[in-house]
Amino acid sequence: MEIAQIHRALAAAGSEPSWLVTVVRVEGSAYRHPGARLLFSRDGKLAGSISGGCLEREVMRTGAWLTRQGALLRSFDARRDEDGEGAHRSGCNGKVELLIEPVTEATRAVLAFAQRELQAQRSVALGTVLACSSPQVRLGAQLVQGATASLNEVADASLAQELASCLVDALNGERRPYARHRRGPFEALVEVVEPAPHVALFGTGEDAVPLARFAAQLGWGVTVLAPHGGFATRDRFNGIAPLRLGAVSESVALAARYAKALAVVMNHDYEQDRETLGALLGSSVRYIGMLGPARRTQRMLAELRASERFSAARLACVFGPCGLHLGADTPESIALSVVAEMQAVLADAEAGFLRTRSAGIHERHTPLRLARAEGA
């Protein structure tokens, strides 16, 4: 999602000098994972983030001067500082290593390639060089691998081939957001970036507006779908999400074409909602949220099962009533609970109070061990 934001921000900035910062390593507790990015210019932040706010100011203050000779790695350790109070001042208790680099035409080309793949609903794998003994390969050089094409700026042919193999493995194997590839003095960050979630809202009432707005603020795609509408309906979502009019079958086909498709059914019309639910169950949409009481959804499912057979896996995608139990009773608070539930489903996370967790707040994924990543 950050790649799309950064690509748009770069396009808007034009030829204005700018710098890209990437989190490449984390030890201990930190707000962002490897792969998080920040784009800034001399005037300040343009897009993205690398922390909860404790690192951005320092990086933007010194980044341009530090990279006057080119890209570099810089570590920020909140576990200690000169007076031993760093962990208390930053609010974190971890060490973060950053790659800071001036934006070049090569940077723009990599981001543009990745964005094209993501817009086509295809995942991409990025390899970023963090260490290399070859004078041909610069720090921060990247290779990006899509489903059917790649873009390479790693000048050493053998290392580029090796890294490309790792990226293909990362795309085709068990999906993990990031990994480290090491062989001797060569080291790279390997990331798998997936298309942003896309929410289809089947309903155009006032209560759909905050839901569309919250999802859009998360960087998700949003489309509002209805069989018919008018100027007032279109104005309601103006500047938030596009409104598409059409038959239920056409609308569901449109919703299901996204790689991470989510849907919320909120027409406030029983027959229309049941028809939409049946069509969604026959699609690949991974989350089907049903607004309204549980008995309403159960009745619809019983009537649908009388004529069609749906697998247990498809029925498990139905969340009715949708949303987390937050005590919500306004359109805005209900929208918050629904968006929070969708986020939990996407992350395969158990929603609950963080203070009751025995594990850390930012539980790390086990680093992906690639077959080709081992060696001297």
The answer to whether residue 361 scores a pLDDT higher than 80 is: no
Domains of the chain (ranges plus CATH)?
2-103 (no CATH), 106-195 (no CATH), 198-354 (3.40.50.720)
Contact (Cβ atoms closer than 8 angstroms) between residue 22 and residue 128: yes
pLDDT at 2 over 90: no
Task: Name the percent of the chain lying above pLDDT 90.
Answer: 74
Whether a cis peptide bond, with omega within 30° of 0, leads into 321 is: yes
Instruction: Give the pLDDT confidence of 245-269 residue by residue, as tens digits.
Output: 999 999 999 999 999 999 999 999 9
- Rounded to two decimals, the pTM is 0.85
Q: For position 85, what pLDDT does the model report?
A: 45
Does residue 133 register a pLDDT over 70? yes
pLDDT at 373 exceeding the cut of 60? no
Token duo for residue 28: 């201990």
φ/ψ (deg, to 5) at 370: -90, 145
In the block, which residue shows the tokens 């062989």? Answer: 183
Lowest mean pLDDT among 53-57, 231-235, 355-359: 231-235
Predicted pLDDT at 362: 58
pLDDT at 5 over 50: yes
Q: What is the pLDDT of residue 351?
A: 87
Residue 296 has pLDDT above 90, yes or no: yes
Mean pLDDT within 315-335: 95
Give the pLDDT confidence score for residue 374 in this predicted structure: 34
- Cα–Cα distance, 6 to 369 (Å, whole number): 29
Query: pLDDT tens-digit profile of 19-47?
Result: 999 999 998 878 888 999 999 999 999 99
Higher per-residue confidence, 209 vs 228: 209
Q: For the residues 204-226, what does the mean pLDDT come to?
A: 95
